[in-house]
Amino acid sequence: MQYKFLENINKPEDLKALSKDALKELCAEIRAFLKENISKTGGHLASNLGAVEMTVAIHRVFDSPRDKIVFDVGHQSYVHKLITGRREQFETLRKKGGLSGFTKPYESEHDPFGAGHSSTSISAALGIATAMKLKGEEGFTVAVIGDGALTGGLAYEGLNNAGRSNTRLIVILNDNELSISRNVGSIAQHLSKITSRPAYFRAKDKTKTFLSKIPYLGKPIYKFIHWTKTAFKRAIYTNIFEDLGFIYFGPIDGHNIEAMAQVMERAKQTEKPSVIHIKTVKGKGYVYAEDNPTLYHGVSEFDVDDGIHLSVGKKNFSCVFADALIEIAKTDNHICAITAAMAPGVGLDRFQKVFPGRFFDVGIAEGHAVTFSAGLAKEGMKPVFACYSSFLQRGYDEIIHDTAIQHLPVIFAIDRAGFVGEDGETHQGLFDVSMMMSIPGLEIYSPFSYDQLEKTIKKACGSGIPVAVRYPRGGESIPEDLKEIAVSSEPISALDTENADVIIISYGRALNEADSAKKILGQSGIKTGIVALLQIKPVDYDRLFDLTGRAKTICFVEEGMRSGGVGEKTGIELYNRGYKGEYKLLAVDETFVHQATVQEQYEMCGLDGKSISKALM
């Protein structure tokens, strides 16, 4: 497809010369480009379709990279990437060595701050704005944040501090679903709308100009009018942003470039930090995404013409977990399910339909979700908090302080454990094990089959203690010779360990790579056994030593961080029990794993079957 205007946009300055009609055509081309490309690479579709005019307006008014544009999460920055010279690389989006699906400073000078998780933009932007002020640099700092991100506590910490700062900070609130302002009555709603119209600004400027020409009285009269209007407005209407010290503009049509540009220019003239509240339609311009923005928030490959997702309907660990929890909840009315704005992602939309009264979506607030779950548990309920591994990092203090110390039976269903593929370093589930291994009284399980997951969730729900059950993204793929292990609910299972020269210990999905290495080593005459850990904390190290202690070499393969992981502890425990052979530990070591396919990430970290076997030959 030919793009008349988009092909000539290679830097933000190229937008500034376009006419109003040309900008409208450009926005249509951007939407067509996004649909065409994301249908092939996967990525965040609906949020970017809704942010087209907003991003164009931002780059029309501000001068990146002198002005710093900080995107919250960064998943809605695709249009920003197109405008800032990365169009030709878009076919590499989310691929190994290609464009990231989020903002990355190493990718472009137009990305001043990296992102991947929610609610960070205001705090980061305030820090940047303060540093610019201290250095005497000109320029504005713009934080672009969605309404969903305002459920995260960090956003309010940022707002609380930014509102009383004297910085050139402008917060653009992209509201595509939720009403943020507290509207009281029809007059308040009217004022909210009228003070955002360009006509209001023109009238205000004309009044100020006219009164300034009246000697002696003009300036006092203008001040009195301004004071009266402000006092009247505050008497009947306020919102959280004004209460925190911001100048508030909005709501504004987020698909009207001219209106947004005028308000942004006005915000640049204020003496205090400001909030520009815009209303957008998530998925705008693509009927399937507009009708179902949740389904099209993050997509894999899909057919542009009919909107069919090529991966929809495939069985996966998230669905198996949810279905297992539903079955347990049918006979145990103490079971509750909690999510932090990720119900479809973790499969709990299924639970919600069956047990709406025992389902709780707390929004993007993982710390609150953990403590809320602890409160439920304190009063006898059995809360199951399902969360992506990388997002659970945000609730670490609450896991220790509010759950484990009080021995409260919260079940943590940790989705996307291990490598996650194309979302890259901010989303890898590689830290949950080392993060939780040191927490007293917490049990951790890592099933690698659907059958194990079902059995483990049932066991966890009846345990009466804090339990974490971690499982990978996607579906199971189990080699034939691991089928027996895959159905075992034993904490430790063994395969061909009798008289083995080499024994590979592993857990979770990495067992597949261990099995691949076993086959390669077998071709070279090296007799190899496998030990599979279903329970990775605590481990029965006496039994583990009985199974492995006579092998010449033990190799622990861990799809997680080396430091603080299971493999490190296992090596110490086996040596303490008298192991005299060679102990090798293969894990992710001192690196953040960038985007690629999951298999490529195994290879990048030396954890694929070929790399394991090479290390053992």
Partners of residue 504 on adjacent β-strands: 530, 555
pLDDT for 227 equals 58
In angstroms, the CA 501 to CA 490 distance is: 24
For 104, list phi and psi in degrees, rounded to 5. Answer: -140, 120
pLDDT for 179 equals 36
Instruction: Extract the tokens encoding 277.
Output: 């509240």
pLDDT for 210 equals 62
- Give a three-class secondary structure readout of 37-93: HHHHHCECCHHHHHCHHHHHHHHHHCCCCCCEEEECCCCCCHHHHHHHHHHHHHHHC
Q: What is the pLDDT of residues 275-313, one digit of tens each?
A: 999 999 999 989 888 888 888 888 888 888 887 776 666
Q: pLDDT averaged over the chain?
A: 91
Cβ atoms within 10 Å of 560's Cβ, excluding its own: 31
Calculate mean pLDDT across residues 159-186: 74
Which one-letter DSSP state was computed for residue 343? H
Which one-letter DSSP state was computed for residue 425? T
pLDDT higher than 60, residue 229: no
In angstroms, the CA 414 to CA 389 distance is: 5
Q: What angle do CA 32, 33, 36 make, to 5 degrees?
A: 85
Whether the Cβ atoms of residue 252 and residue 194 lie closer than 8 Å to each other: no
Calculate mean pLDDT across residues 74-100: 95
Looking only at the bridges linking them, the beta strands covering 411-415 and 467-470 are parallel
Q: What is the pLDDT of residues 250-278, one digit of tens each?
A: 899 999 999 999 999 999 999 899 999 99
The helix/strand/coil state of 305 is coil
In angstroms, the CA 327 to CA 332 distance is: 9
Nearest to 55 by CA among 91, 15, 88: 15
pLDDT for 372 equals 98
> In the chain, what percentage of residues exceed pLDDT 90?
82
pLDDT for 298 equals 80
pLDDT for 223 equals 63
In angstroms, the CA 360 to CA 339 distance is: 6
Residue, of 238 and 175, whose pLDDT is higher: 175
Calculate mean pLDDT across residues 499-509: 97
pLDDT for 219 equals 66
In angstroms, the CA 397 to CA 513 distance is: 33
From residue 431, give the alpha-carbon distance in Å to each of 77, 81, 491. 26, 29, 22
pLDDT higher than 60, residue 198: no
Q: What angle do CA 90, 96, 102 make, to 5 degrees?
A: 55
Calculate mean pLDDT across residues 227-243: 63
pLDDT for 180 equals 36
pLDDT higher than 70, residue 463: yes
- 488 contacts: CB under 8 Å, gap ≥ 6: 452, 532, 534
To 10 degrees, what angle do helices 218-236 and 185-194 make? 130
Whether the Cβ atoms of residue 41 and residue 93 lie closer than 8 Å to each other: yes
b/e per residue 61-87 (b: at least 16 CB within 10 A) = bbebeebbbbbbbbbbbbbbbbbbbbb
Whether the Cβ atoms of residue 252 and residue 259 lie closer than 8 Å to each other: yes
Q: Dmax of the chain from CA atoms?
A: 103
Quick one: residue 503, left, alpha or beta (phi over 0 = left, psi -120 to 50 = alpha)?
beta
Q: Which of 157-166, 170-179, 483-492, 497-506 has the lowest mean pLDDT?
A: 170-179
pLDDT higher than 50, residue 184: no
Hey, which residues are catalytic here?
282, 366, 394
- 188 contacts: CB under 8 Å, gap ≥ 6: 236, 237
The helix/strand/coil state of 106 is coil
pLDDT higher than 50, residue 194: no
R_g over Cα of the chain: 28
Whether the Cβ atoms of residue 241 and residue 159 lie closer than 8 Å to each other: yes
The helix/strand/coil state of 344 is helix
Calculate mean pLDDT across residues 44-62: 96
pLDDT for 182 equals 37
pLDDT for 577 equals 97
pLDDT for 300 equals 81
pLDDT for 294 equals 80
pLDDT for 204 equals 57
pLDDT higher than 80, residue 408: yes
pLDDT for 250 equals 87
Residue, of 190 and 223, whose pLDDT is higher: 223
Residue, of 477 and 232, whose pLDDT is higher: 477
Predicted TM-score (pTM) of the model is 0.89
pLDDT higher than 90, residue 396: yes
Indicate the pLDDT class of residue 378, thresholds 50, 70 and 90: very high
- 179 contacts: CB under 8 Å, gap ≥ 6: none
pLDDT for 240 equals 87
Partners of residue 170 on adjacent β-strands: 142, 274
b/e per residue 387-405 (b: at least 16 CB within 10 A) = bbbbbbbbbbebbbebbbe
> In the chain, what percentage of residues exceed pLDDT 70?
89
pLDDT for 189 equals 42
pLDDT for 310 equals 65
pLDDT for 616 equals 97
pLDDT higher than 80, residue 346: yes
Instruction: Extract the tokens encoding 466.
Output: 């804090």
pLDDT higher than 90, residue 187: no
Residue, of 198 and 262, whose pLDDT is higher: 262
Which one-letter DSSP state was computed for residue 314? -
Whether the Cβ atoms of residue 48 and residue 105 lie closer than 8 Å to each other: no
